């Protein structure tokens, strides 16, 4: 089937793959859904760990908060990296840059809100 | 210097169907931009909740109204549905339309279970007089968790329409692109929920 010029695949041998570093596109193609199963097991393990940590009060309050926040960030990493196929794109995977800018703004907004209110509360 | 003699364009690696047409592939990038802006909406609501979570006035504390059981059930339902929609995309890439539809239906059932559990939780709260005008904490809680629940409900309605379209048209660059963006949306909601159960429910149980 002949394709329109605009519908052609953009990889070619002379130019090589588009993009570089973390915006180099990469497609997940597997014969068996290994990465999905690994992602599911990882996400269940991370969730149950944070639940068990809280139910058994493994640490005192502050380290416990930090521990379950780290587990949540790991869980988000599993979802973005394994399930959302972050770097799938025809050309360079430009979505990566706004996404991390968004993480930066979101984290900054939440952390700065908590920080500025500490002056009123005298502690969190 | 040799000019490229053969301008043959080689697909390397093979591009999946949803990326095969340039216009559809651009829509996937556009959907990522939507997800970034939606993430900022949730970040604002998380900030509001963080600021108000200790403002309970005469109302209940987080520890009194949150339950491990329903939180764990909702989390497991949503995590599993995130896996099943991943399997739907896997089946779509293999051009197994029947398997794809089955995984999508399973995803919908799990998502409906999540929404039902959350609605049940909200109704139980309201019956005990725990409403969003009682305290700043409850306002932040109901707006944040309610916005997430509304997103999940919208996602279910979207996937039902997708199911009809997929059964009528089969796998085309347009329908596969729609299912792909739906899977991105669904995983995104799963990430938001992970932060809700950590930051709202588990933090509420600790302090």
Confidence of residue B182 (pLDDT cuts 50, 70, 90): very high
Chain segment B100-157, per-residue pLDDT in tens: 999 999 999 999 999 999 999 999 999 998 899 889 999 999 999 999 999 999 999 9
* Claim to verify: residue A36 and residue A76 sit in the same structural domain: yes
Q: Which two tokens stand for residue B125?
A: 């709260």
Residue B165 has what pLDDT? 94
* Claim to verify: residue A80 and residue A100 sit in the same structural domain: no
* Domain contains A41: yes
Residue B45 has what pLDDT? 96
Residue A124 has what pLDDT? 52
* A54-B202-B107-B181 Cα dihedral, nearest 10 degrees: -120
The chain-wide mean pLDDT, for chain B, equals 89
* Claim to verify: residue A47 and residue A68 sit in the same structural domain: yes
- Please state the domain count of chain A: 2
Chain A stretch 89-108, residues whose beta carbon is closer than 8 A to a beta carbon of chain B: 89-90, 94-95, 98-99, 101-103, 105-107
The SS3 call for residue B93 is helix
Residue B205 has what pLDDT? 85
* Claim to verify: residue A45 and residue A80 sit in the same structural domain: yes
Residue A27 has what pLDDT? 79
* Domain contains A80: yes
Closest CA to A93 of A105, A106, A103, A84: A84
* Claim to verify: residue A94 and residue A80 sit in the same structural domain: no
* Claim to verify: residue A49 and residue A77 sit in the same structural domain: yes
Chain segment A57-80, per-residue pLDDT in tens: 877 888 888 899 999 999 999 888
Q: Which two tokens stand for residue A76?
A: 């988000």
Confidence of residue B2 (pLDDT cuts 50, 70, 90): very low
Alpha-helical regions (H) of A1-124: 34-55, 61-78, 96-121
Measure CA of the first residue to CA of the last residue in chain B; give whole Å.
Answer: 70
Alpha-helical regions (H) of B19-129: 22-52, 62-65, 68-93, 97-127
Residue A96 pLDDT > 60: yes
Confidence of residue A120 (pLDDT cuts 50, 70, 90): confident
Enumerate residues 6+ apart whose C-beta is below 8 A from B188: A84, B35, B38, B39
* Out of A17, A39, A50, closest to residue B198 by CB: A50
Residue A17 has what pLDDT? 63
* Claim to verify: residue A81 and residue A94 sit in the same structural domain: no
* Domain contains A16: no
* Domain contains A6: no
**What residues make up the domain containing A49?**
32-85
* Domain contains A10: no
CB atoms A79 and B42 under 8 Å: no
B95 phi-psi bin (left φ>0, alpha ψ -120 to 50, beta other): left
| Distance of residue B117 Cα from the nearest chain A Cα, in angstroms | 18
The structural domains of chain B, ordered by start, are: 17-206 (1.20.120.80)
Chain segment B45-104, per-residue pLDDT in tens: 999 999 998 888 888 888 888 888 999 999 999 999 999 999 999 999 888 999 999 999
Residue B194 has what pLDDT? 94
**Do A113 and A103 contact (CB within 8 A), yes or no?**
no
Question: Burial of B72 by CB count in 10 Å (0-12 exposed, 13-18 middle, 19+ buried)?
Answer: middle
Confidence of residue A49 (pLDDT cuts 50, 70, 90): very high
Closest CA to B18 of B95, B99, B103, B101: B95
Q: Give how far Cα B20 sits from Cα of A39, A91, B54, Å.
A: 27, 12, 51
* Claim to verify: residue A40 and residue A68 sit in the same structural domain: yes
CB atoms A30 and B198 under 8 Å: no
CB pairs under 8 A between A and B: 162
Residue of A nearest to B9 (CA): A12
Contacts of A71 in chain B (CB under 8 A): 198
* Claim to verify: residue A73 and residue A99 sit in the same structural domain: no
* Domain contains A96: yes
- Looking at the DSSP bridge assignments, the partners of residue A16 are A12
Enumerate residues 6+ apart whose C-beta is below 8 A from A84: B183, B184, B187, B188
* Domain contains A63: yes
Share of residues in chain B with pLDDT > 70 (%)? 93
* Domain contains A24: no
């Amino acid at each position: 089937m002949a394709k329109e010029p605009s519908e052609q695949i953009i990889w070619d041998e002379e130019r090589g793959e588009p993009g570089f570093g973390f915006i180099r596109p990469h497609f997940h193609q597997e014969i068996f859904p290994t990465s999905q199963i690994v992602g599911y097991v990882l996400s269940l393990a991370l969730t149950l760990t944070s639940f068990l940590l809280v139910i058994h009060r493994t640490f005192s309050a502050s380290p416990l908060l930090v521990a379950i926040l780290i587990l949540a960030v790991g869980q988000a990493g599993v979802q973005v990296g394994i399930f959302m196929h972050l770097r799938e794109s025809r050309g360079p995977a430009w979505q990566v840059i706004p996404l991390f800018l968004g993480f930066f703004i979101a984290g900054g907004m939440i952390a700065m809100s908590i920080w500025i209110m500490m002056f009123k509360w005298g502690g969190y | 210097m040799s000019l490229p003699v053969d301008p043959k364009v080689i697909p390397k690696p093979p591009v999946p169907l949803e990326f095969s047409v340039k216009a559809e592939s651009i829509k996937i990038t556009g959907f990522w931009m939507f997800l970034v802006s939606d993430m900022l909406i949730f970040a604002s609501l998380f900030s509001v909740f963080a600021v108000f979570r200790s403002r309970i006035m005469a109302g209940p504390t987080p520890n009194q109204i949150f339950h491990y059981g329903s939180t764990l059930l909702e989390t497991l339902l949503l995590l599993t549905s995130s896996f099943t929609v991943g399997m739907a995309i896997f089946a779509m890439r293999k051009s197994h339309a029947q398997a794809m539809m089955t995984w999508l239906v399973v995803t919908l059932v799990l998502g409906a279970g999540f929404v039902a559990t959350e609605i049940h939780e909200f109704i139980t709260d309201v019956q005990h007089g725990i409403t969003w005008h009682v305290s700043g904490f409850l306002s932040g809680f109901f707006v944040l968790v309610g916005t997430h629940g509304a997103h999940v409900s919208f996602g279910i309605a979207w996937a039902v329409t997708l199911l009809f379209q997929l059964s009528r048209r089969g796998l085309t660059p347009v329908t596969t692109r729609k299912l792909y963006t739906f899977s991105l949306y669904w995983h995104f909601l799963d990430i938001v929920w992970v932060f809700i159960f950590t930051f709202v429910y588990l933090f509420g149980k600790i302090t």
